[in-house]
Each structure stands twice: as structure tokens, then as C-alpha cells.
Structure 1
């Protein structure tokens, strides 16, 4: 099945490079390349991409704010953030706003393709460096590391005040599946309440307080 991808980056060289690389893969069709989030939204309305690969730092409208607009106007499109910054704040905010993944610009071509494939299939993807940042604190929490990538994403959304229904809509899964993940997270972390999960996420540096 062909995956339709829309590229968004305000650096022409990056856009051209990504486009040239992705077009060498038979199962990927680049339906557009835009220098800004607003231009990308215009393209997305007519091309209905499966995945938007978008930089965070852009003029006019940054990638983080653009996530919410894409979720509103193109709800079936998955957002995969691409950045040179491994900032915990950027990563956590991307997930809470509704992105399905976050990869760094210095990853290999194979990892970019793997990220696109995973996100298009309804999964979440964080490049290795990003996962390390999300899990890093003064004394890396072994409990948090025991969570799957999907559970980490759900924990961030729950800690951000999202309901099961909101999380389900953001990650394109059922509310029942979210509830199952929520129970597993509580069990793994030994935390019985949602308030406790939020406090845990803040104390472990997964989100800002």
C-alpha cells in the first residue's frame, strides 16, 4: 500500500534532500513539499497525506502549533516531527499536542523510513536519541523504562490532562484500548490514580510543571 507523505521544512536543501531520498522507495509517494506549516495545510486539504513529516522550528507558524491545526483540519493524517533539537520540552509537547512520533534530523535514512511506516500503520515512533531524552533524569527511572513506547505516549497525554476519549482520538485507537493501557501503566508504575500519574510525569521530568 502506498503511503502518501507531505514534507514541511523552511530549508529548501532539507526539503529537496528528503524528497529525493523518499522518492527512491516504491511504497512512498511524496504528495507535496512546503516551506511553511500554513502552505502545508493548503496542500494537505487537497492531497490528504497519510503522514506529514514536519520540522518544528519554522517562521510564521511553528511545527508545534501546527500540529493542532492539522489534527483539526486533517484528522486522519499522522504527524511525524523532525527536528535537530532533542529538547524534552519539544518532545513532550509534540506528543501532548497529538504528534505520533519525533525523530532527529541526524538519524539514518532507514530510521526515517521505519518511522514513516510505523506512524502510517497507526503506531508511535521516537528515534533512539529522543527515547533517551524522554527517559532521562538524575537517576533514570527503571519503572518508566519498562513502559512501551505506546504507553509512554499515553502517559504523557494523560499527564497533560487528556481524557480517555481525547487520547483515543489523538492516537487513533479505541477508548477501550486507552483504558487497558492506562491500567497497565498504573500497574507497572505502582500508581493507582490519574493525579498520581501526572505527579509522576512531572517529577520524572517528562512534562513541565
Structure 2
């Protein structure tokens, strides 16, 4: 039986040691290599051709999302498992957009990590219930974006570019009250609570570029 070859990329030595022990505890897994600096990861993975890459997002030298995106293009057979202490939903969206097949938080139960490696070793994606919920919410909101009218999109763009309600109204030759009504309607439609959420949403869906 061929072993699943696993590459570990994390700048914390103790964490790499813990991951190494986990991998070595399984007779069907083996560590193909390790890297502590992001600049080393892509080249080493291309040379060693592991089945699974366990990748921290916050590594010195190179951003984990950039590494995942590069390997998706240059070595698509490698299954990328993001293993990070950050659970920002925007990072989760970004990880899967970059080509990752799983996103495990360092605070998750070790069984989740084991299950993720097992799934990726079979070339199957793995989502924890929490990550699945976040991605489903993102999909729902993406679908809702398609329902924004041209006027709503224009108002969102101007507001997120820093225009006030009054400035937006003047530019579009409508009343300030109309801008306020559209803004409130968009927030309800997208199920957003704060204007900062709307800005992040507009950037992510390319309604505005900052």
C-alpha cells in the first residue's frame, strides 16, 4: 500500500514537531518534508511532490494564500490543507478561492485534523461543520448579490468609496432619503449588520476596489 506523503509548512518548531508525531503515528502516512519559511514552500513541494500539504497562513517570507494559489496552478495534484490559528471568515473564503481543499483551525479538535488528512489523502475535500456553515453563508450572500439592482450596486459602490449619503444623492441626482432607503434595503437583503461588513462585501464581490 502506498503511503500518503505529507509536507508540513509552519514556522513554529514545536507545532511542526507535533504534526510530525501525528503523521508518524500512522503506518499509512509519512512526512515528505518540512519548511519553516514561506519562500521555501513552493519550490520544495514542486521537488518532493507530496500528496498533502499542511500549510500555515501566517508564515514569514510568503503569504499562505499566495502559496496555495501558486501551487494550485503549478502543482494541482497537491491537496492543500490550511492549518491556522486565524478563523476570520474572509480568510476562509480566500483559502478556498486559492484552491485549498480543507481549512482546520489550530483550536479544532485533533480528530478534525486527522479526518481532514485522511480525506485529502483520498483526494476528497474536507470541511468542518463550522467552515461549511461559513461557506454556505458566503454562497447565499453571493446569490443575493445577483439580486441587487443596478441602482443599488451604484449606491453601494459610491458609499463604499467613501461618499456620504448627501454626496451620493448629488452624484446620482436623487434625494438623500432615497439613498438612505436603498442603503437600508441592501443591508437587509445581504443580512449585514454594520457598514464595515458592507465594505468588505463590496470589495470581495468586486463592486468596489480599494
Common fold, TM-score beyond 0.5?
yes
Alignment of 1:5-154 (within 5 A): 5-135=6-136
Q: 2 CA distance for matches of 1:105 and 1:126?
A: 14
TM-score of the two chains, using structure 1 as the length reference: 0.64
Alpha-carbon RMSD across the aligned residues, in angstroms, is: 3.1
Match of 1:203 among 178, 186, 190: 190
TM-score scaled by length of structure 2: 0.64
- Distance between the aligned counterparts of 2:108 and 2:90, measured in 1? 20
**Residue 60 of structure 1: CA displacement?**
1.4
Q: Which runs of 5+ in 2 are unaligned?
A: 148-152, 154-188, 193-199, 206-210
Q: Secondary structure at 1:125's aligned position in 2? A: coil
Say if 1:54 and 1:82, in contact at 8 Å, map to a contact too. yes
Cα distance, 1:204–1:131 mapped onto 2, change above 3 Å: farther
Q: Which digits, 9 at most, give the CA deviation of each residue in 1:81-104, with x for residues without a partner? A: 011111110000111111111011
1:23–1:30 contact (8 Å) kept in structure 2: yes
Mapped to 2, the partners of 1:95 and 1:76 lie a distance apart of 15
Bigger radius of gyration among the two = 2
Q: Report how many residues are paired.
A: 157
Distance in 2 of aligned mates of 1:131 and 1:86: 13
SS of the residue 1:13 aligns to:
helix
Task: Point out which structure has higher relative CO (alpha carbons under 8 A, 6+ apart).
Answer: 1
How many angstroms apart in 2 are the aligned matches of 1:72 and 1:203?
32
* TM-aligned CA deviation for residue 136 of structure 1: 5.7
